[in-house]
Amino acid sequence: MAIQLENIVESIKSKVRALKKSRKKPYVKMDKSSSVKVEIRSRQARKLIEKTMRVADQPGKRAIS
């Protein structure tokens, strides 16, 4: 029983070592292009406008949070 346990532990250790050695970055991270940055800003602006309009439609509330 103890020998089988040792064999299992050794096989797990060897598999973990092999995984660590073969681990490479799957891709190179790219910077955002200017068009993507503009799209992100326009989405944020649209969200802010929608939020402002919702608050404006409720006359009882004054603060935008």
CB atoms within 10 A of CB 55: 14
pLDDT tens digits, 12-62: 998 888 877 766 666 677 788 888 899 999 999 999 999 999 888 887 766
Angle at 43 (CA atoms; ends 60, 36), nearest 5 degrees: 165
Residue-level pLDDT at 17:
84
In this prediction the pTM is: 0.44
Instruction: Give the pLDDT confidence score for residue 23 in this predicted structure.
Output: 66
Tokens of 65: 């949070």
Phi, psi of 20 (to 5 degrees): -65, -40
d(CA 49, CA 42): 10
Q: Confidence band (pLDDT; 50, 70, 90) for 65? A: low
Alpha carbon distance 43, 16 (integer Å): 43
* pLDDT value at residue 1: 74
Give the Cα separation of 19 and 52 in Å (integer).
Answer: 51
